[in-house]
């Protein structure tokens, strides 16, 4: 579980541990990893922490080795991503490329190193975003990165089905995590989001975790190359304008 020490990743770790899965959680913050292991204590299965920078290949390799114990791996999930709120022409070119890479590189590296450890029945899940499927004014780099994630999932699922490995993504809508307090604490901005949702509430990490649990579990054994949207009906309507004001 890359990004398993907080938010969506931790909520998913709790579900999988309660199911009896040995879960390796990979993240950069050692204190947060320790707290996550403590949070999962008593759920019924071992939770193993690994310090990991998701942009560093050697760290991903080490996390996969720990998770597979040098042998077999059944499930691989990657959560992290992100981007800067900015008008589309204001990104410095190197920053734009780096932010796209921040979203798709961890997915490819985990796919590249985890799938060879999997046997038939293995499941790979990438956390994408509703940003992959509609215009996100003010979040161009994030949208481009998440669209790339879903495109990679399509091709990987198509190719890896022949060895019995399933590849899918989850597209969360607005979800309460450590990366979204700016929205949830701003009543005006939060209202703009909720006005564009059929179900008028923000998502919780547990909502997304349940979808991931479905995609890695036996209930979805005939599902691959799919992008499950968990957004309260947000994509039925539109994304609010996230662009910062024009500089004077």
Strand, coil or helix: what is 63? helix
- The domain of 150 spans 71-236
Q: What would you report as the CA-atom Rg of the chain, rounded to the nearest whole angstrom?
A: 18
- In a domain, residue 195? The reply is yes
The structure tokens 């997304």 sit at 208
CA 242 to chain centroid: 21
- In a domain, residue 220? The reply is yes
pLDDT at 164 over 80: yes
Q: What is the pLDDT of residues 174-203, one digit of tens each?
A: 999 998 999 999 999 999 999 999 999 999
pLDDT at 247: 73
pLDDT at 248 over 70: no
pLDDT at 51 over 80: yes
- In a domain, residue 59? The reply is no
Average pLDDT over residues 17-44: 96
- In a domain, residue 80? The reply is yes
Which of the four pLDDT bands, split at 50, 70 and 90, describes residue 72? Answer: confident
pLDDT at 88 over 90: yes
CATH label of the domain that carries residue 97: 3.40.50.720
Burial of residue 156 (CB within 10 Å: 0-12, 13-18, 19+) is buried
Average pLDDT of the residues of the chain: 96
Residue 101: CB atoms within 10 Å: 15
- In a domain, residue 26? The reply is no
- In a domain, residue 2? The reply is no
pLDDT at 219 over 80: yes
pLDDT at 246 over 90: no
The b-or-e profile of 35-53 (16+ CB within 10 A means b, else e) is ebbebbeebeeebbbbebe
How far apart are the C-alpha atoms of 28 and 184, rounded to whole Å?
25
- In a domain, residue 35? The reply is no
Number of domains in the chain: 1
Average pLDDT over residues 128-138: 96
- In a domain, residue 128? The reply is yes
């Amino acid at each position: 579980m890359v990004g398993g020490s907080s938010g969506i990743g931790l909520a998913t770790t709790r579900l999988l541990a309660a199911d009896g899965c040995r879960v390796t959680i990979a993240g950069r913050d050692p204190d947060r990893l320790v707290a996550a292991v403590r949070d999962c204590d008593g759920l019924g299965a071992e939770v193993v922490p690994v310090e990991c920078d998701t942009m560093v290949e050697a760290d991903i390799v080490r996390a996969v080795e720990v998770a597979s114990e040098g042998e077999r791996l059944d499930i691989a999930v990657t959560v992290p991503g992100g981007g800067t709120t900015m008008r589309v022409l204001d990104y410095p070119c190197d920053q734009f490329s780096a932010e796209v890479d921040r979203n798709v590189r961890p997915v490819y590296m985990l796919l590249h190193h985890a799938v060879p450890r999997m046997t038939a029945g293995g499941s790979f899940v990438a956390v994408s975003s509703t940003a992959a499927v509609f215009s996100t004014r003010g979040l161009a780099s994030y949208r481009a990165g998440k669209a790339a994630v879903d495109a990679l999932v399509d091709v990987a699922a198509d190719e890896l089905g022949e060895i019995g490995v399933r590849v899918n993504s989850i597209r969360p809508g607005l979800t309460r995590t450590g990366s979204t307090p700016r929205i949830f604490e701003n009543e005006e901005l939060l209202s703009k989001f909720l006005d564009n949702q059929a179900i008028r509430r923000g998502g919780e990490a547990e909502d997304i975790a349940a979808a991931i649990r479905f995609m890695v579990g036996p209930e979805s054994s005939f599902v691959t190359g799919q992008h499950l949207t968990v957004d309260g009906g947000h994509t039925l309507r539109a994304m609010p304008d996230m662009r910062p004001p024009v500089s004077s």
